[in-house]
């Protein structure tokens, strides 16, 4: 990291960013070409959870290469706006970048638990019910985090 003073070494701040971020960007490699998409997500105990339709480019890529990189940010806003020297304007942010391996969840109870984690972060409710038909239509992915780092400018 070029600006060491901005590196987050306190794992609680990394957890905070994962708790506060609204969107997780998932980067994959489609052959030799990068592919990134924003997704709703959940996080718990070193695992990022995602849900998806059962077909599409993302699923095809992950079936061939489950290695992913992800990014989230929280509290992003402009700071110190200087109209006379706009290039001196900065950003406040807390960002996290990690990498890991994507795995598809097939077992119904584990799928439901993962969905509760995802839906819970946006609704505040901890338990939901899902019909077997709904569970069969969607794919739930867990990304087991292998590496994670954070950076801040607050």
Average per-residue pLDDT for the chain: 85
Domain residue limits at 45 = 4-153
Residue 138: closest CA among 60, 40, 58, 52: 52
The CATH code of the domain that includes 131 is 2.30.110.10
Higher pLDDT, 126 or 55: 55
Q: Is the pLDDT of residue 42 over 80?
A: yes
Query: How many domains are there within the chain?
Result: 1
Integer Cα distance of 20 and 10 in angstroms:
16
């Amino acid at each position: 990291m070029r600006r060491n003073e901005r590196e987050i070494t306190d794992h609680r701040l990394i957890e905070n960013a994962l708790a506060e971020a609204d969107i997780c960007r998932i980067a994959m490699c489609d052959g030799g070409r990068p592919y990134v998409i924003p997704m709703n997500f959940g996080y718990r105990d070193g695992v990022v959870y995602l849900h998806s339709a059962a077909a599409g480019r993302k699923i095809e890529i992950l079936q061939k290469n489950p290695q992913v990189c992800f990014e989230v940010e929280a509290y992003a806003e402009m700071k110190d706006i200087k109209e006379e020297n706009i290039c001196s304007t900065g950003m406040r942010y807390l960002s996290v970048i990690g990498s890991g391996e994507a795995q598809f969840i097939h077992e119904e109870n584990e799928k439901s638990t993962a969905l509760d984690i995802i839906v819970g972060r946006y609704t505040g409710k901890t338990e939901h019910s899902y019909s077997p038909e709904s569970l069969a239509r969607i794919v739930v992915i867990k990304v087991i985090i292998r590496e994670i780092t954070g950076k801040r400018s607050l």
